[in-house]
Amino acid sequence: MKKGLILSLAFFLLSRTAGAEPKNIVEISDASISQIDALHTKAEGQIVENDFRGAVRTYEDILLVEPDDEAAYTNLGRIYMILGDTQKAAECFQNALHINPDNEGALFGIEKIRDPDKEFVESASPQT
């Protein structure tokens, strides 16, 4: 019973995002924008300090405030790649592409997951 509930919930969450246009029904206040900017700066500092787990938590905090932040999803995907979790990385890149199908960082990440041995040239700096 519990397994069926988990599968149903997973299917529901996936079906909500599959093919749907990104929507941000709530307007973001100036205070929220400042908070998001501060969190991006914090995450970038954590990355520089190699505190990848801390950066994951910070990007997750950003997504709680602004679920359509494609840069947060892209950077989170990059961190999961560094941590070796390609499944979570792919999910983050797909979320970024759902928001913006032309997101070059997310497209690069998906391609890198598909062909890890291929040589790529891409900026290592976080998106903003």
Mean pLDDT of the chain: 80
Exposure of 87 in the CB half-sphere (CA atoms within 13 A): 0
Complete DSSP assignment for 50-117: T-HHHHHHHHHHHHHH-TT-HHHHHHHHHHHHHHT-HHHHHHHHHHHHHH-TT-HHHHHHHHHHH-TT
pTM reported for the whole predicted model: 0.71
Query: Residue 127: pLDDT band by 50, 70, 90 thresholds?
Result: low
User: How many domains in the chain?
Assistant: 1
What is the length of the chain? Answer: 128
Domain, as residue range, for 83: 49-117+124-128
Is there a domain that residue 36 lies in?
A: no
1-19, pLDDT tens digit by residue?
444 434 333 333 333 333 3
Buried b (16+ CB within 10 A) or exposed e, 50-85: eebebbbebbeebbeebebbbbbbbbbbbbbbeeee
Is there a domain that residue 81 lies in?
A: yes
39-82, pLDDT tens digit by residue?
999 999 999 999 999 999 999 999 999 999 999 999 999 999 99
Is there a domain that residue 111 lies in?
A: yes
Quickly count: other Cβ atoms within 10 Å of residue 97's Cβ.
Answer: 20
Q: What is the CATH number of the domain that holds 62?
A: 1.25.40.10
User: Is pLDDT larger for residue 7 or for residue 31?
Assistant: 31
